[in-house]
Structure 1
């Protein structure tokens, strides 16, 4: 009966606990070998209680220790979930504040710099027209004037990453 305490039953098949965990870890290389899920823990505890010798039951201290471990695991899981929710909320607040600040730039002249593959920096200038959010990252939509080879000017909208903005101001800010 002592060996039955080290077993786990999955889909009606009973496995040796160590062999089962080894097979699970072999298929999930990114899972730590010492980690078991709370569902697995509960199944092990129920299996232990189900197959214990009625003449020699499990020690109450051991049972309470396992329940305390499960309770701690459950609380840590809950805290981790809530921390993830708080992190998400803070990111949303940061994005909202940033969008609010970016909307104050609408109608103003902005300068931004780009670097080509050779390391050459080019400074661009245009008028901020709107704020765009793509994949959770805000950017500024800027209207620029483009001159072609014959000297004709056309207007175009350019999506500007806010990390590249170097100056913001009313009127011409070119030096």
Structure 2
């Protein structure tokens, strides 16, 4: 995903690539499969020696617990996705607040000092990067985590 916030026109552009993944419905057992299994088990049990009620209840409780764990896992995945999106938006907003300010920091290697005015913020390689115009006119990317000083 790539986001850019530019100081010139104060707009945000977003582009993303989405990979759709199909799940194989034959690889997991659902509620319908459980009911089919239960009905088949009841149809094929020996009438002279039926399954114990406690065994039936225990099986139903296990399937119920499994269903609840699956629901919790799905909810956690959704929460994780929402948190990641919120975190990205928060970092972009923090970067946008630096547009027009003079910043200093180190490049990704930590060897070269970058100093200049922030002109834009972009999301690249899962990190927010500031586009900084240095005094020589060059435009360089500075990771927000590498900022050492901010001036008004």
TM-score, reference length from structure 2 = 0.68
Q: Does 1:128 align with 2:85?
A: no
Out of 95, 102, 108, the residue aligned to residue 109 of structure 1 is: 102
Q: Deviations over 1:8-44 (max 9, x none)?
A: xxxxxxxxxxxxxxxxxxxxxxxxxxxx9544x8375
Q: How does 1:21-170 map to 2 (within 5 A)?
A: 37-39=28-30, 42=34, 45=38, 47-114=40-107, 116=109, 121-146=111-136, 155-170=137-152
Q: CA deviation at 1:81?
A: 1.0
TM-superposed deviation, 1:134:
2.5
Contact 2:116 2:134 in 1 (8 A): yes
> What residue ranges of structure 2 are gaps of 5+ in the alignment?
1-26
Alpha-carbon deviations, 1:53-97, whole Å to 9, x = none? 232221121111111111111011111111221122122222222
Which has the larger Rg?
1
The 1-side partners of 2:40 and 2:127 are apart by 50
State how far apart, in whole Å, the 1-side matches of 2:126 and 2:47 are: 59
The alignment yields a C-alpha RMSD, in angstroms, of: 2.6
CA distance in 2, matches of 1:83, 1:115: 33
Question: Relative contact order: is structure 1 or structure 2 higher (C-alpha 8 Å, sep ≥ 6)?
Answer: 2
2: CA distance between counterparts of 1:46 and 1:139? 59
| TM-score, normalised by the number of residues in structure 1 | 0.60
Unaligned runs of 5+ in 1: 1-35, 147-154, 171-175
